[in-house]
Amino acid sequence: MAQPKYLTGDKAGIEEFLSRFDVFLFDCDGVLWSGDHIYDKVPETIEMLRSKGKQLVFVTNNSTKSRADYKKKFDKLGIPAEVDEVFGSSYSAAVYIARILKLPAPKNKVFVLGESGIEQELDAEGVQYVGGTDPAYRRDIEPEDFTNIANGKLLDPDVGVVLAGLDFHVNYLKMAIAFQYLQRGAIYLATNTDSTLPMAHGFFPGAGSAGAGVEKAIGRAPLSLGKPSQAMMDAIEGKFHFDRKRTCMVGDRLNTDIQFGIDGKLGGTLAVLTGVSKKQDFLTEGAPTVPTTYMDSIGDLMG
């Protein structure tokens, strides 16, 4: 594997790099911002890319937010962006269910383990669902529930899909119901399977961990519609119709962002060092995932 090219401070290198791509897929958290802290020169960098006619897509695994929620975050931080440029794992899952899976009615409802971001994207794609933020599922399991789940009384007969995302309201009742749907043959999807969620300068259980109970119970993994799953790349390509050789993935995580670009056979990948992965992680001999280029922070693209 060739050594990645270091672009910070390399004006000629940056110019050559920019000339090679028409489309940039951006991870957000760890690249543009960390929580509510925006990194240096991010709005200017985004403007500069737009002024050069580059197409931008913001690709995020955070399933708790819809594209509309994300647009608000961009606005709040002063980063120019359109809703249609945001591609989240909830949207990815909704598109996959509505346009690729296309289950015949009536058995085409989705049981949602997750927050309102998933519900909004399913609504936007016209997909019916149960679970999610419905208060009826946000309660302790009671003794009679075991029988009513096992015999199907507590289930919706039209559920054909279980979709697991990051659920801050995960509980045993929902796990038991999801497990029962899967035992009865429901298709098993996840918005993403990240094990951790960086928050408040710490690490918290991610979507993959919130959903790990159901995965362990049924004994098989869901199809993930988030990075690095190529189901997400296919969905992005289906919407934006880009030339993969003229597309670059920008991200801070080697095992999700950069791997996503490599597996998608994109023309290039750019790792930034403002987030999770450090340069030793890919400069070391035998590193499993190596970007084609890297820089200290995305603002360094301004030269």
Q: Binding a second copy by CB under 8 A: which of 215, 252, 257, 300? A: 215
Query: Which residues, numbered 36-95, are part of the site for a second copy (CB under 8 A)?
Result: none
Spatial CA neighbour of 227 closest among 269, 194, 272, 250? 194
Query: Which residues, numbered 156-185, are part of the site for a second copy (CB under 8 A)?
Result: 167-172, 175-176, 179-180, 183
Give the Cα separation of 25 and 210 in Å (integer): 27
263 annotated to bind ligand: no
Give the Cα separation of 131 and 120 in Å (integer): 13
Q: Binding a second copy by CB under 8 A: which of 44, 106, 157, 204? A: 204
- Could you tell me which residues come within 8 angstroms of residue 126 by beta carbon, excluding any fewer than 6 positions away? 98
145 annotated to bind ligand: no
The answer to whether the bond into 106 is cis (omega within 30° of 0) is yes
Based on the shown chain and the rule CB under 8 A, indicate whether residue 275 belongs to the binding site for a second copy: no
Options 51-59, 192-200, 251-259, 278-286: segment touching a second copy (CB under 8 A): 192-200
Catalytic residues: 27, 29
Looking at residue 303, what DSSP letter applies?
-
Based on the shown chain and the rule CB under 8 A, indicate whether residue 214 belongs to the binding site for a second copy: yes
Nearer to a second copy, 180 or 293 (CB): 180
Nearer to a second copy, 166 or 298 (CB): 166
Task: Give the pairing of strands 37-38 and 33-34.
Answer: antiparallel
Give the Cα separation of 254 and 259 in Å (integer): 6
196-201 contacts: CB < 8 A, separation 24 or more?
A: 197/166, 198/29, 198/30, 198/34, 198/275, 198/276, 199/35, 200/35
Options 43-51, 58-66, 206-214, 223-231: segment touching a second copy (CB under 8 A): 206-214
CB of 90 to a second copy, least distance (A): 18
252 annotated to bind ligand: yes
Options 40-48, 86-94, 138-146, 286-294: segment touching a second copy (CB under 8 A): 138-146
Task: Give contact residues for a second copy (rule: CB under 8 A).
Answer: 140-141, 146-147, 149-151, 167-172, 175-176, 179-180, 183, 195-196, 199-206, 208-217, 219
